[in-house]
Amino acid sequence: MTLAELDLHHSQSLAEVASVAEPTALEQLRVKYLGRNGLLPAIIKQMKEVPAEERPEFGKRAQAWRAALEAALTEKHLAVATEETKGPAFDPSLPGRWFAPGSKHPVSRVIEETAAIFARLGFTVADGPDIENRFNNFTALNTPAHHPSMDPSDTFWLTDNLLLRTQTSPVQIRMMTQHQPPMRIITPGRTYRRDTTDATHSANFHQIEGLYVDTQPVSLADLKSTLAYYASEMMGSKAGVRFRPHFFPFTEPSVEVDFSCHVCAGKGCRVCKMSGWIEIAGAGMVDPRVFQFVGYDPEKVYGYAFGFGVERIAMIKYGIPDIRWLYENDMRFLSQLA
């Protein structure tokens, strides 16, 4: 085949496409020229018979023809397509596509809400590592050398000196050794204890620590009003707090903090075991010994600290009866709290 003959086929095919006005005829044209047994593939198969010096030009023109023909066919197809060949019209009565929305885990929600509440009181969020040393987790927190909490049956020791932190309180030490008062921080994070898992215990849970230190007097009343504000923001405006005397090595005096039961508003129910109160936190005034350990002058610095379990707040707030539900990632459970 000569170049002139090729060009003739080219222009003829385009003229034929231009002359049809109906989808089936158009499809026949496509098969005639481009189909498996169509003219264009056949011509290309016979390229070796074209004189060698004409062959590159021949190949180029054949490709140009294919491109032009395909474009013409597509354009014509759109012009002559019937409703049927275009596909169905948009049907607004069909059900939409469903996307499962993700949601925040209850533990993350409690941490974020707590951070937001304390931010309104001037607290910023501080962070510390899960792997701590003996000094930060125990010694500087004024824990006596043979305190039972250091026992390998309670604490995950990694080496003689390193351990998985049993509380977020070591972040107090880290912050106070690095910064001068005044300081208001909260510290959410993971904590680890060698506890056997049951409905209310987990070997890996979360705490939120709070610390306020200042060079002007800070009192137990400040601590109480801060926690009362937190209780009412977190649990509802009617929530109250009460302090019960307790002991922690790093606070003096120390208290355990109860929230009034949000279910019965203090009247007594199953959730609060008829007492009207739910134990939430440990707290107290920072012990002068701790200030000494971090290099503060205990005569000149005052402060309070508190710490509570995040899972415990989540369980109370959302009515979750078993702590293990928080770790199983069962969508049937999590989606109820979305």
Closest alpha carbon to 248 in 120, 141, 89, 90? 141
Q: Is 227 in the site for ligand PHE (CB under 6 A)?
A: no
One symbol per residue from 77 to 116: x for binding ligand PHE (CB under 6 A), - otherwise; what is it? ----------------------------------------
> In whole angstroms, how far apart are CA 326 and each of 173, 192, 198, 204, 320?
30, 16, 12, 11, 9
Written as six digits, the tokens of 300 are 């000149």
Identify residues 183-212 at the interface with ligand PHE (CB under 6 A): 209
Describe the crossing of helices 220-235 and 106-119 by its angle, rounded to 10 degrees.
130
- Identify whether 56 is preceded by a cis peptide bond (ω within 30 of 0): no
User: Least distance from C-beta 310 to ligand PHE, angstroms?
Assistant: 12
Q: How many residues does the chain have?
A: 338
Which of 29-41 are b and which e, b meaning 16 or more Cβ less than 10 Å from the residue's Cβ? bbeebbeeeeebe
Residue with tokens 């056949």: 42
Closest alpha carbon to 173 in 149, 140, 147, 204? 140
- Please identify, using beta-carbon distances, which residue of 276 and 307 lies nearer to ligand PHE: 307
User: Least distance from C-beta 278 to ligand PHE, angstroms?
Assistant: 16
Q: Which range, of 26-34, 148-156, 218-226, 282-290, touches ligand PHE by CB under 6 A?
A: 282-290
Q: Is 142 in the site for ligand PHE (CB under 6 A)?
A: no
Q: Is 290 in the site for ligand PHE (CB under 6 A)?
A: no
Describe the crossing of helices 3-19 and 55-80 by its angle, rounded to 10 degrees.
0
Q: Which residue is nearest to ligand PHE (CB)?
A: 307
Q: Is 167 in the site for ligand PHE (CB under 6 A)?
A: yes
Q: Is 306 in the site for ligand PHE (CB under 6 A)?
A: yes
- Please identify, using beta-carbon distances, which residue of 239 and 285 lies nearer to ligand PHE: 285
Q: Which range, of 128-136, 235-243, 278-286, 311-319, touches ligand PHE by CB under 6 A?
A: 278-286
Site for ligand PHE, rule CB under 6 A: 167, 169, 209, 248, 251, 282-284, 305-307
